[in-house]
DNA sequence: AAACCCGATGCACAAACGTGCAAGGAGTCG
DNA sequence: CGACTCCTTGCACGTTTGTGCATCGGGTTT
């Protein structure tokens, strides 16, 4: 539209940037900044909020090098993954615990993704919470790819999953690649047929060359069933079958046992999620977990080597260590 | 002392770290944190202050990639140096301007220095202000080296210069290398003799292999004379000589002209500062300038190619561009 | 053991801050 | 041109935060 190139910077962003400099780098009060910018203090407050949300300001908490945090070091020693332990008091409710972990995860994620990269994202209650807390960080030529289908016998699931996807997309100003298939097929032959369709196979191929994936864990048989298990994605027979094969958890509707094995879990043939060996081919695999009910599932995911970066609440972190 | 290795983390630091996580990464109020940590809210406030000062928390303000700040881009284009422009309103007093630039410079400096590096620092009013604002950042096997002597006919200057040096040293937990010689020798032969002393030549050699240097600029003939010119470092004859040779500024008591040349400035033979060609051999050379009185001096330093990173207030940045 | 110093604590108050709300544009549609 | 929405602004209020001060406990000196 505009032939000039420099005009792309909105005056709002410009002000937010100066305000952030003055506030965070020079320790001026908002009042003083308001005066310098010829506006009201409250506008400065909002400007700064905007600056934080859009990633103009980046706040990192780094443990001094000689003091890697205890739990995180222990987890690396025990499981060989990089852990980010989110401190949460023990008596916290599961809902708040999930939210606090998701909030921290969202901030950490910013460091994992950049221009020219592609990120696979799953869906579920964890991912939903996470997506709500994303800070935006402008990238170019990057893509967000849906990992598994979200349709079920009742709904197409598109609204739910795409809401999550979209939030990722706009946070990183990346293009979004939907995956409009059922979460779990009734008939494996249908899946095979669909996978031969070019529109679908294109996405399947993209999934194999991702740079990062982010996912929560499913835990079909734990106290609070995760979203997959209450939306009608699986019927009673499926459940019975899962239980009898010893499955304890899933990532993007692909199931595994506590020892990490996946052989002879027939449901996986019908699942729309990427096979676990595909996952293992991806460089960075960030797993977000909160709450005791996911313990068994987490144990399986770690045993299966599906995780490179673990973001977890302190209570669960302690428990997974205690059991090893 | 203690055979255990993990005991080096003080409980204070540990708390500060958790508090910082909760405050900056989870947006809890200090009240809530105080409750979780079983202490008072005011302690949390102090804990967070401690966390910021000791570098547990790092706050960066980054302009979005597609919008490098205007002035900074212009300066790079005109002079080929990386600029950090510190926004300061035009009507600010010189004292406050200096302090705000020094504050920002101190924060930026953290990114320039790390373990296994050595940093040369000058002294003067700019460096003094800067040193007072340093945030600490733990490093190992690193050294701070004094660039030029501080003694003059009246005092040994050791207290003044070493105060600055010490602050750098403790901020980075680096060893400090003093340089106990006069700023300017009366007799060049004395300098030559002293430079042959091993205790002194050791430091002179260190100066040649620095990774970073930080310095302000002197401006002998501008409105507010910099510290060098009021402490008796130079006598009237020296001044007259400088003026007649056309010198407009100095870095660590080594003088240059507005066009960047240094030939035939006899005073430099007697100066304790490193020759400008030694400076140019150092990879990163951060120059901190504030205020109009340093304009001519800055022009010379840029012309002489002595600067790789320039930290400057917005007013001066604009003026140096206008004149080019 | 008394005297002393030093750092940490909580209190109380003032300063600084976030946000719901109503008012004021700027742009759009009929 | 008026009616509409959508975004921005400043105000006012309650909340959150920084800090001087008095206090306290542990360690050192005399």
Q: What is the DSSP string of B170-198?
A: HHTT-EEE---SBSB-SSHHHHHHHHHSH
Between B168 and A138, name the one with better pLDDT. Answer: B168
Does residue B3 carry a pLDDT above 50? no
**Dihedral angle sign, alpha carbons of residues A41, A46, A50, A52:** positive
Measure CA of the first residue to CA of the last residue in chain A; give whole Å. 61
**Dihedral angle sign, alpha carbons of residues A36, A37, A38, A44:** negative
pLDDT single digits (tens) A141-199: 999 999 998 877 666 555 678 888 988 988 888 899 989 888 889 899 999 999 999 98
Distance from CA of B203 to the nearest CA of A (A): 29
Identify the CA nearest to A252 among candidates A198, A179, A176, A187.
A179
What Rg, from alpha-carbon coordinates, does chain B have? 22
> If you measure CA to CA, which chain B residue comes closest to A101?
B26
For B287, the token pair is: 């120059």
Report helix, strand or coil for B151: strand
**What is the rounded CA–CA span in Å between residue A234 and residue A231?**
8
Give, to the nearest 10 degrees, the angle between helix B94-109 and helix B125-132. 60
Q: In this structure, what DSSP letter does residue B21 have?
A: I
Break chain A down into helix, strand, coil percent, rounded to 5: 45, 15, 35
For A322, the token pair is: 């205690």
Q: Which of B64, B68, B135, B312 to mutate to test the interface with A (most CBs of A within 10 A)?
A: B64
pLDDT single digits (tens) B49-70: 889 888 888 888 887 655 567 8
pLDDT single digits (tens) B169-201: 888 888 999 898 888 898 999 999 999 999 999
Q: How confident is the model at residue B222 (pLDDT cuts 50, 70, 90)?
A: confident
- Indicate yes or no: CB of B59 within 8 angstroms of CB of A24: yes
Report helix, strand or coil for A59: strand
Whose tokens are 């399947």? That residue is: A204
A–B CB contacts, 8 A cutoff, strictly below:
102
**What is the rounded CA–CA span in Å between residue A47 and residue A51?**
6
> Which residues of chain A have a CB within 8 Å of the CB of B55?
62, 64
Q: Verify if strand C has an atom below 7 Å from the CB of A30.
A: yes
Q: Verify if strand C has an atom below 7 Å from the CB of B12.
A: yes
- Indicate yes or no: CB of B138 within 8 angstroms of CB of A62: no
∠ CA B272-B274-B276, rounded to 5°: 130
Q: In this structure, what DSSP letter does residue A227 have?
A: G
Q: Which of residues 45-84 of B touch strand D (CB under 7 A)?
A: 45-46, 48-49
For B240, the token pair is: 């007259």
The reported pLDDT for the residue numbered A67 is: 57
A162/D2 CA-to-C1' distance in Å: 40
The reported pLDDT for the residue numbered B286 is: 97
Cβ(A183)–Cβ(A152) below 8 Å: yes
Cβ(B290)–Cβ(B199) below 8 Å: no
Does residue B239 carry a pLDDT above 90? no
User: Which residues are CB-neighbours of A255 under 8 A, at least 6 positions away?
Assistant: A220, A242, A247, A249, A262, A265, A267, A268, A271
Residue A21: which of B22, B25, B61 has the nearest Cβ? B61
Break chain B down into helix, strand, coil percent, rounded to 5: 45, 15, 35
- Pairing relationship of beta strands A57-61 and B57-61 according to DSSP bridges: antiparallel
Q: In what order do the strands lie in the sheet with B82-86?
A: B82-86, B309-313, B284-289, B212-215, B118-121, B143-146, B175-177
Residue B59: which of A17, A59, A69 has the nearest Cβ? A59
A 10 A CB-CB count for B111 gives 10
DSSP conformation letters of A243-262: HHHTEEEEETTEEEETTS--
For A269, the token pair is: 């043939």
Cβ(B72)–Cβ(B312) below 8 Å: no
**What is the rounded CA–CA span in Å between residue B197 and residue B319?**
45
- The tens-digit pLDDT sequence of chain A (324 residues) is 333 333 355 777 888 998 999 999 888 999 989 988 889 999 999 999 889 888 888 888 887 655 567 788 899 999 999 999 998 888 888 888 998 999 999 999 998 999 999 999 999 889 989 998 888 888 889 999 999 988 776 665 556 788 889 889 888 888 999 898 888 898 999 999 999 999 899 999 999 999 999 999 998 877 655 455 556 677 778 888 888 999 999 999 999 999 999 998 999 999 999 999 999 999 999 999 999 999 999 999 999 999 999 999 999 999 999 877
What Rg, from alpha-carbon coordinates, does chain A have? 22
Residue B87: which of A22, A69, A100 has the nearest Cβ? A22
Mean pLDDT of chain B: 87
Identify the CA nearest to B218 among candidates B134, B296, B141.
B296
* Longest alpha-carbon distance in chain A: 69
Identify the CA nearest to A270 among candidates A234, A245, A305, A306.
A234
Backbone dihedral angles phi then psi of residue A211, each to the nearest 5 degrees: -95, -35
Query: What are the residue ranges of helices labelled H in chain A?
Result: 11-20, 30-37, 41-53, 70-79, 94-109, 125-132, 158-171, 188-196, 198-208, 236-245, 267-270, 276-280, 295-303, 314-322
Does residue B12 carry a pLDDT above 60? yes
- Pairing relationship of beta strands A212-215 and A247-251 according to DSSP bridges: unpaired
**What is the rounded CA–CA span in Å between residue B169 and residue B34?**
33
- Indicate yes or no: CB of B21 within 8 angstroms of CB of A60: no
Backbone dihedral angles phi then psi of residue A82, each to the nearest 5 degrees: -80, 120
Nucleotide closest to B43 measured between CA and C1': C9
- If you average pLDDT over residues B129-156, what whole number do you get? 84
The reported pLDDT for the residue numbered B66 is: 58
- If you average pLDDT over residues B70-89, what whole number do you get? 90
**Dihedral angle sign, alpha carbons of residues A302, A307, A313, A314:** positive
Residue B138: which of A17, A60, A66 has the nearest Cβ? A66
Q: Verify if strand C has an atom below 7 Å from the CB of A269.
A: no
The reported pLDDT for the residue numbered A58 is: 87
Distance from CA of A106 to the nearest CA of B (A): 10
Does residue B1 carry a pLDDT above 50? no
- If you average pLDDT over residues B137-159, what whole number do you get? 80
The reported pLDDT for the residue numbered B92 is: 82
Q: Verify if strand C has an atom below 7 Å from the CB of A45.
A: yes
The reported pLDDT for the residue numbered B4 is: 35
**What is the rounded CA–CA span in Å between residue B96 and residue B88?**
9
Identify the CA nearest to B106 among candidates B125, B144, B132.
B132
Q: Verify if strand C has an atom below 7 Å from the CB of A40.
A: no
């Amino acid at each position: 539209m505009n032939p000039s190139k420099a005009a792309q910077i909105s005056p709002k962003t410009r002000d937010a940037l100066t305000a952030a400099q003055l506030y965070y780098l020079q320790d001026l009060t908002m009042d003083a900044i308001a005066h310098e910018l010829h506006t009201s203090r409250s506008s400065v407050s909002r400007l700064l909020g905007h600056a934080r949300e859009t990633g103009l300001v980046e706040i990192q908490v780094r443990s001094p090098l000689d003091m890697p945090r205890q739990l995180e070091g222990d987890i690396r020693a025990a499981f060989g993954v990089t852990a980010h332990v989110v401190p949460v008091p023990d008596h916290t409710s599961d809902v708040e615990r999930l939210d606090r972990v998701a909030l921290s995860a969202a901030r950490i994620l910013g460091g994992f993704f950049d221009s020219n990269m592609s990120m696979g994202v799953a869906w579920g209650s964890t991912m939903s919470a996470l997506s709500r807390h994303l800070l935006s960080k402008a990238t170019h030529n990057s893509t967000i790819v849906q990992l598994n289908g979200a349709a079920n016998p009742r709904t197409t699931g598109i609204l739910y999953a795409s809401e999550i996807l979209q939030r990722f997309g706009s946070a990183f100003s990346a293009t979004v690649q939907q995956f409009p298939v059922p979460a779990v097929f009734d008939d494996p032959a249908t899946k095979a047929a669909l996978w031969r369709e070019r529109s679908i196979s294109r996405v399947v191929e993209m999934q194999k060359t991702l740079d990062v994936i982010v996912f929560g864990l499913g835990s079909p048989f734990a106290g609070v069933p995760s979203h997959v298990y209450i939306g009608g994605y699986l019927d009673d027979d499926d459940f019975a079958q899962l239980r009898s094969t010893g499955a304890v958890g899933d990532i993007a509707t692909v199931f595994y046992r506590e020892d990490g094995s996946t052989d002879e879990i027939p449901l996986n043939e019908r699942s729309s999620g990427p096979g676990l060996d595909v996952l293992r081919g991806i460089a960075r695999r960030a797993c977000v977990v909160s709450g005791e009910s996911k313990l068994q599932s987490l144990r399986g995911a770690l045993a299966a080597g599906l995780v490179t970066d673990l973001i977890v609440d302190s209570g669960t972190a302690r428990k997974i260590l205690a059991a090893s």
